Structure 1
């Protein structure tokens, strides 16, 4: 089984991993949670890294157990609230089931992300920059709150249609009565608000949140966001001016508040390396969108090597005259097929004209979005 096919079910997948179907996801005790885990387990032989994590653990008010290698960690792994893997650790134990965060230092560079993808870590924390995020993460792990699902969409190749699919899914979820939020994760994508014809709609955009620090109140975030098509959205501005991005800590804080404030958060991630690192690693599930073409299948298979080890499914975009069918594409990339995205005439033109929501009202689009939402609801949480 591919690491991208596995479910995140286990003793403590944390808030946000439950089904997004139904009016109150996460209500009531989750059956997979252990009996009040309180200890954080750190596995590293690096003294400098251990010192950094000790400061973070002290700030979060929890207990920290440190061991030097995987063998020493085995007796404590399953009982830990969170497992932190140092960047000197190159493997996971075969029975380790708790969520693992790979922690490293700012000097580790690109190798830290490659290692995280290779060993199946579910989050990455680069210290000391991510110290405040990690402290909050450790604190929440001891008293997990019900939360919604953060669902990321990424194109398996350029022009795959992930942004279109994200809008359609958000629109369909809102029509079903799900509290859904659409997030634009691509600072170089031109601004998702343009496809919604909502560039003049008042509300916060990403640059307005660039200086946000600490915990963000979910209600304040919800009250500050613009609306389109019956759902709120958070977009990059659809303007020609260059704008500075926001750092990983701000994104993590915003997505955490969104997870606590909405039943479903749909993130249009984009394909840039920085966007993948900033947004994909904060998602609970991923959908990869790919056309039914051989080159797209090859590009998608390569992309999977850079994605976090969370449950990942494939959506194939249908196209008239396609030589490969959806099942074959899914089998070739090693992902379960969640649905076939319909080929809608003039969809590109509708996007350019800000009328993408109009195409979402077509019956075949609604069937597709409903199928994707149903697939997520039926998958193991």
Structure 2
């Protein structure tokens, strides 16, 4: 229930991610006949104040939805409405997707996380792989998508280059013959983790429809899809970034990296409102993570301190965060918790 066009667009987009259809009312008068029977009611702030005046009946399952920035949550408005929760967007998007899906008994589609670098060599492939590996260790079904055609290859980061399975060139040429529902099963995989990466042959670009097919297959069959994006966004990367529930910009704690990251952030922000910054140490000039986030105008998702043994492990073919210990693993666990991705069956 809202007459705010921006809030309505956000609510419709979130409902689409949850595969739920919204019945929209601009005010309490239009909502009155449906208010009591709806499985869940989302109410904007202006409509909430009108509800109090209209004396709509109290009922469970009412969520007050507001959009940042806020000085403080509107507790008085929520109390007058009888709301059970206040969902502050964009931070509450993953929770709201879960809540909508649960209200109608629909399975939640996979969360999509996009990772991109503030400058070349920032370590995005390692962070993206670490997120996917951490999810798989927790018993979650994960898909790692390598969307950077000139990167080193996500399969190499995992140590999986010898595994059989489909890779981008086959899908990009449209010759795989694999329908989207079966696509993930045809990829190189171990346990709960599958990867869509590149071979070592001819360099090809990913058509946007191929990326859409991969994301659709991942969202339908996985709990988490992680996409490793190039810094220069092509059409396929834009498709992935637009679909992301969370986008992470990895920025080394260096002045030149911050300047480069500002350009990347400006381009990425056109396609997503879910951009967060992860700051990677060391910081030669003692730049603080919050200073970098403030300079970029982005929320801080976390910090990643130097972990020399990580590079050695990858050189030996061991996947990032594969042991579940270390600074990368801890950061990835925190990010997954914030996405409301709970462990199903932790792996030793």
TM-score normalised by L of structure 1: 0.59
* Aligned-partner Cα distance in 1 for 2:340–2:12: 20
Matched, 1:257 2:217: yes
2:321, 2:329 within 8 Å by CA — same for their partners in 1?
no
More deviation, 153-162/228-237: 228-237
> Residue 321 of structure 1: CA displacement?
4.1
1:168, 1:360 within 8 Å by CA — same for their partners in 2?
no
* Aligned-partner Cα distance in 1 for 2:181–2:254: 43
Number of the residue aligned with 1:163: 125
Q: 1:184 to 1:8 in 2, by over 3 A?
A: farther
Number of the residue aligned with 1:22: none
Where 1:265 maps in the other structure, the secondary structure is strand
Matched, 1:285 2:246: yes
Q: 1:363 to 1:331 in 2, by over 3 A?
A: same
Number of the residue aligned with 1:202: 164
| Aligned 1:362-377 pairs, distance under 5 A | 362-377=325-340
| Aligned 1:189-338 pairs, distance under 5 A | 189-212=151-174, 217-228=179-190, 230-237=192-199, 239=200, 241-274=201-234, 276-277=237-238, 279-307=240-268, 308-319=271-282, 321-338=284-301
> Residue 313 of structure 1: CA displacement?
0.8
More deviation, 6-15/247-256: 6-15
Q: Aligned residues, how many?
A: 253
> Residue 167 of structure 1: CA displacement?
1.0
> Residue 229 of structure 1: CA displacement?
6.9
* Aligned-partner Cα distance in 2 for 1:176–1:155: 26
* Aligned-partner Cα distance in 1 for 2:257–2:325: 26
Given the alignment, which residue of 103, 111, 115 partners 1:149? Answer: 111
Where 1:343 maps in the other structure, the secondary structure is coil
CA RMSD of aligned residues (A): 3.2
1:149, 1:265 within 8 Å by CA — same for their partners in 2?
yes
Q: Which runs of 5+ in 2 are unaligned?
A: 1-6, 26-66, 68-105, 342-348
Where 2:238 maps in the other structure, the secondary structure is helix
Q: RCO (CA 8 Å, sep 6+): is it higher in 1 or 2?
A: 1
Q: 1:351 to 1:8 in 2, by over 3 A?
A: farther
* Aligned-partner Cα distance in 2 for 1:204–1:377: 30
> Residue 371 of structure 1: CA displacement?
1.2
More helix by share: 2
| Aligned 1:115-154 pairs, distance under 5 A | 146-154=108-116
TM-score normalised by L of structure 2: 0.64
Between Structure 1 and Structure 2, whose CA radius of gyration is higher? 2
Number of the residue aligned with 2:11: 10
> Residue 188 of structure 1: CA displacement?
0.5
* Aligned-partner Cα distance in 1 for 2:9–2:252: 27
> Residue 259 of structure 1: CA displacement?
1.3
